[in-house]
């Protein structure tokens, strides 16, 4: 089923676009409500999935667990900084060319036929740290029982992730219908092709170059990595949530790396903080908005300062639709001189292009997991 998922999801997107005039409003609202319900269930279960994956990984990795988490955090900061700083050259190019933008219109979203709200009992961050700490403590003080518990948890989580795969086509359909209903697809194609094209070209060129280098320049390995991540990337594009797409991301990464247990710890730990798409899109949008409002181009030193604060702020981002820009508004205001109207514009633009940005975030998370896997293999970390 997973190997056919890219074709299934592409078929879903094309069917919605071409059959839109023939789909009744009630059916659209029903399918959108179904997608929101599935998403609510996935998000509610994510803390338990995160805890289970990290507990099992910590028990399995034992003494190496702390070292791995430290390595992950350092490399996340480096990766986010490199992505942010590289976007400076693209943004500067946009600033010096005659690229003007108009403020997108407000969209009156499709109303779901019903809504389901489930309580989130445990924060994702709390589940992450609890899984790591309890896993390490259990492996030290009671290694044998810890191994048995970890195997049971792994079996439960594996079954849950496999069940999510079969829900993904229904999950994606409603969100694509909502995008089509709001006219976002048509607006992107008609009015913002150039700017989204620049962002997509810069971002995906960087991500695919990273995949190519991590594949040691082997075309077959590179193509296989991209193919494995396509279902998760398409899900991210449709749902605008890398957190909700995490089950597919984990499966895609597992099919591309040697140490599957390690990949299961990397993806949950970085899904909210390693966001390559945001690191390219927000600065490039910022330069375009500065140009539109006649503001001066930031100096290299000013942008360097902005980049450092930008990277730190990434640790407070929730990987949900529109979440990436909200915590960045104070940074844009204090370091790039954004006023209220400019912040309103960049927020609207970010939300408009969130599908593309989230797709890049998901691809980037897969590349990061493969990077950790390559490093772990070279230094003998099991």
Question: pLDDT digits over 91-130, tens only?
Answer: 888 887 765 544 445 555 688 899 888 887 777 667 877 8
Q: pLDDT, tens digit, for every residue of 272-309?
A: 788 899 999 999 999 988 887 778 888 888 899 899 88
Question: Could you give the CA distance from residue 206 to residue 102 in angstroms, rounded to a whole number?
Answer: 28
3 state SS of 320: coil
Q: Mean of the pLDDT values across residues 10-37? A: 89
Q: Which CATH number covers residue 241? A: 1.10.3860.10
Mean pLDDT lowest among 197-206, 251-260, 322-331, 345-354:
322-331
Please report whether residue 33 resides in a domain: yes
Q: Mean of the pLDDT values across residues 227-235? A: 91
Contact at 8 Å (CB) between 114 and 33? yes
CA-CA-CA-CA dihedral for 42, 320, 316, 364, to nearest 10: 90
Q: What is the model's pLDDT at position 319?
A: 47
Please report whether residue 21 resides in a domain: yes
Question: Could you give the CA distance from residue 106 to residue 11 in angstroms, rounded to a whole number?
Answer: 29
Please report whether residue 17 resides in a domain: yes
Question: Could you give the CA distance from residue 79 to residue 76 in angstroms, rounded to a whole number?
Answer: 5
Question: Could you give the CA distance from residue 155 to residue 133 in angstroms, rounded to a whole number?
Answer: 21
Q: Mean of the pLDDT values across residues 36-62? A: 78
Question: Could you give the CA distance from residue 212 to residue 218 in angstroms, rounded to a whole number?
Answer: 7
Question: Could you give the CA distance from residue 153 to residue 51 in angstroms, rounded to a whole number?
Answer: 9
Host H or E run for residue 57? helix 25-61
At 112, list the tokens: 């779901």
Minimal CA–CA distance to 368: which of 46, 75, 64? Answer: 75
What count of Cα atoms within 13 Å lies in the side-chain half-sphere of residue 345? 20
Please report whether residue 353 resides in a domain: yes
Please report whether residue 141 resides in a domain: no
At 162, list the tokens: 């496999």
What mean pLDDT, rounded, does the chain reach?
81
Question: Could you give the CA distance from residue 369 to residue 71 in angstroms, rounded to a whole number?
Answer: 12
Please report whether residue 367 resides in a domain: yes
Contact at 8 Å (CB) between 272 and 124? yes
Contact at 8 Å (CB) between 33 and 174? yes
Q: pLDDT, tens digit, for every residue of 337-360?
A: 887 667 777 877 787 788 888 899
Contact at 8 Å (CB) between 317 and 327? yes
Residue 102's domain comprises 2-40+76-119+167-378
Q: How far apart are the first and last CA of the chain?
A: 30
Minimal CA–CA distance to 177: which of 351, 37, 27? Answer: 27
Q: Mean of the pLDDT values across residues 374-381? A: 75
Tell me the Cα Rg of the chain: 21
Question: Could you give the CA distance from residue 31 to residue 12 in angstroms, rounded to a whole number?
Answer: 12
Residue 371 has pLDDT above 50, yes or no: yes
Phi-psi region of 216 (alpha: psi -120 to 50; beta: other; left: phi over 0): left
Mean pLDDT lowest among 101-105, 190-194, 232-236, 338-342:
101-105
What count of Cα atoms within 13 Å lies in the side-chain half-sphere of residue 290? 24
Please report whether residue 49 resides in a domain: no
3 state SS of 254: helix
DSSP conformation letters of 78-129? HHHHHHHHHHHHHHHHHHHS-----PPPPP-PPPPS--------S-HHHHHH
How many domains is the chain partitioned into structurally? 1
User: Could you give the C-alpha distances from 222 to 23, 90, 123, 228, 380, in angstroms and in order?
Assistant: 39, 25, 35, 10, 23
The pTM of the full predicted model, rounded to 2 decimals, is 0.71
At 180, list the tokens: 């089509």
């Amino acid at each position: 089923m997973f190997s056919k998922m890219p074709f299934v999801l592409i078929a879903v997107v094309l069917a919605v676009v071409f059959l839109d005039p023939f789909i009744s409003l009630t059916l659209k609202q029903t399918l959108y409500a179904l997608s929101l319900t599935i998403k609510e269930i996935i998000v509610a279960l994510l803390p338990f999935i995160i805890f289970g994956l990290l507990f099992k990984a910590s028990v399995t990795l034992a003494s190496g667990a702390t070292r791995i988490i430290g390595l992950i955090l350092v490399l996340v900061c480096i990766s986010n900084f490199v992505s942010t700083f590289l976007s400076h050259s693209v943004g500067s190019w946009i600033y010096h060319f005659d690229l003007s933008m108009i403020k997108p219109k407000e969209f009156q979203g499709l109303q779901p036929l019903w809504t389901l709200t489930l309580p989130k009992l445990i924060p994702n961050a709390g589940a992450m740290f609890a899984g790591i700490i309890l896993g390490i403590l259990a492996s030290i003080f009671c290694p044998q029982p810890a191994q048995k518990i970890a195997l049971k948890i792994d079996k439960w989580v594996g079954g849950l992730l496999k069940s999510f795969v079969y829900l993904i086509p229904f999950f994606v359909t409603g969100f694509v219908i909502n995008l089509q209903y709001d006219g976002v697809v048509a607006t992107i194609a008609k009015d913002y092709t150039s700017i989204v094209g620049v962002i997509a070209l810069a971002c995906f060129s960087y991500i695919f170059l990273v995949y190519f280098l991590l594949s040691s320049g082997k075309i077959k390995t590179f193509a296989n990595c991209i193919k494995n991540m396509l279902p998760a990337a398409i899900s991210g594009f449709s749902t605008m949530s890398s957190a909700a797409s995490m089950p597919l991301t984990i499966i895609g990464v597992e099919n591309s790396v040697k140490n599957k247990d390690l990949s299961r710890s990397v993806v949950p730990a970085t899904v909210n903080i390693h966001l390559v798409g945001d690191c390219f899109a927000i600065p490039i949008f910022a330069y375009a908005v500065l140009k539109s409002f006649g503001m001066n181009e930031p100096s290299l030193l000013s942008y360097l300062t902005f980049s450092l604060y930008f990277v730190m702020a990434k640790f407070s981002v929730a990987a949900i639709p529109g979440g990436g820009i909200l915590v960045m508004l104070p940074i844009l205001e204090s370091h790039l001189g954004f006023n209220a109207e400019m912040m309103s514009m960049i927020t609207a633009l970010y939300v408009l292009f969130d599908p593309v940005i989230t797709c890049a975030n998901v691809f980037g998370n897969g590349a990061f997991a493969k990077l950790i896997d390559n490093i772990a293999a070279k230094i003998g970390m099991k």
